[in-house]
Amino acid sequence: MGLLPCGLVYAMLAVVATLPHPLLSASGMVVFGLGTLPALIAVLLSDSSMSALPRGAAGELEPGPGEGAAACRGPRAGPRRRTGI
């Protein structure tokens, strides 16, 4: 799904690097990889189900019933207010 490792992969690499034998380190990374498969599959399946959502002509999500067009645009961009910090 992606080639850039996340922080959890680097953390696990640091853990398995301290193991006494290279085969233990390799098996630790294999087990870690197998442990992440359910989450990766869930993201893959949710991504494919998200493509079935109704989209407008510009490819943007359409508002649902009772929602105005502003619901799709998100927060308004405006001048920043200074806080008293």
Tens of pLDDT, residues 11-39? 999 999 999 999 999 999 999 999 999 98
| CA atoms within 13 Å, Cβ hemisphere of 49 | 6
What span, in angstroms and rounded, lies between the C-alpha atoms of 29 and 26?
5
Give the residue from 10, 19, 5 showing the smallest Cα distance to 27: 19
User: How does DSSP classify residue 20?
Assistant: S
58 in a structural domain: no
* Residues ≥6 apart with Cβ < 8 Å to 40: 1
The pLDDT score that the predictor gives to residue 21 is 96
Count structural domains, the chain.
1
pLDDT band at 67 (very low <50, low <70, confident <90, very high): low
What span, in angstroms and rounded, lies between the C-alpha atoms of 42 and 48?
10
Domain that holds residue 32: 21-47
33 in a structural domain: yes
35 in a structural domain: yes
